[in-house]
Amino acid sequence: MLHEIGPHKLYNEFRKQAPKPNDFLVVYVGDKSLLKKNGESYEIPRVADFNRESIPCHYLFSIDDASYFLAESYVSKTLADAMPEEYVFCPTRTYRYMGDPLLRLGGATAAHIAHWESLNKCCGRCGNITVRSDKERAIICPKCGNTVYPRISPVVIVAVRNGDKLLMAHNIDNPNPRLFLISGFVEIGESLEQAVHREVMEEAGLRVKNIRYFGSQPWPFSDSLIAGFTAELDGDDTIHMQASELSEALWVKREDIPEYETDVSISCCLIENFRRGN
């Protein structure tokens, strides 16, 4: 999965440190990151690529001894404009398809933080200009004291089993035609397990039982933390699909499920887990 980079390690504790030439510099403007196009693939620019004596930026985190910095927003456009044409702005999902798992996690996590910072330039309570805390990863309003932490929205995803069949679905907004699992954001006032019951009922009109925790993963592409579960059908197996969310929802026999090769998402891990008979 995205976060599984062992034996390498993400050091995400708050620190203040100065950038070194070989560190990564994320330049983020309008929900996109500046990346260096190299043939069909993309690279995250290094501090040295910008060829400047000093760059206004702040430390985000490190993976092993490679640190990630985020360019201050007021200088980001100027930095990008001065770069050669192979440096282009790309959507955050571009990181997902990077071949190097360290760059995939590092880039997407940096973009997650950059997105959060971009949404909190002003205080949501009093409208004053905010500042970054110098003690923790937080944004503070110097006028009213409002403190905002990175947005990490919990999501549940569930593999619902009915004997040798798996409940699979296709979300109408997903350009990928493959079938995936029922998932959704946790609503206010409910537990993860209650969210599983509600999502399966809303999207497929089915009851479930024996909900078991499978694992979790960060999913920076939607500012989320995804909790994966398995569950069994409880009672009637007739699917009543929620047409406003899904274009397809059906029971798929184990032998009809193709291999889900990616090791990036917990969704694929849950499907593979069922396909292999676990």
Write out the residues near Zn ion by the rule CB under 5 A: 123, 125-126, 128, 141, 143-144, 146
- State the nearest-atom distance from the C-beta of 30 to Zn ion, in Å: 25
Query: CB-wise, 145 or 258, nearer to Zn ion?
Result: 145
Query: CB-wise, 123 or 206, nearer to Zn ion?
Result: 123
Could you give the 3-state DSSP secondary structure of residue 175?
coil
- State the nearest-atom distance from the C-beta of 129 to Zn ion, in Å: 9
- State the nearest-atom distance from the C-beta of 238 to Zn ion, in Å: 52
Q: What are φ and ψ of residue 94, in 5° steps?
A: -60, -35
Query: CB-wise, 37 or 121, nearer to Zn ion?
Result: 121
Query: CB-wise, 125 or 212, nearer to Zn ion?
Result: 125
Q: What are φ and ψ of residue 271, in 5° steps?
A: -65, -45
- State the nearest-atom distance from the C-beta of 126 to Zn ion, in Å: 3
Could you give the 3-state DSSP secondary structure of residue 7?
coil
Q: What are φ and ψ of residue 216, in 5° steps?
A: -140, 165
Per the DSSP assignment, residues forming a β-bridge with 246 are 171
Q: Are 158 and 196 in contact (CB under 8 A)?
A: yes
- State the nearest-atom distance from the C-beta of 138 to Zn ion, in Å: 13
Query: CB-wise, 144 or 172, nearer to Zn ion?
Result: 144
Beta strands in the chain (DSSP E): 10-11, 24-26, 28-29, 32-38, 41-43, 57-63, 66-71, 87-91, 131-132, 139-140, 147-148, 153-162, 165-171, 182-185, 208-219, 224-233, 246-253
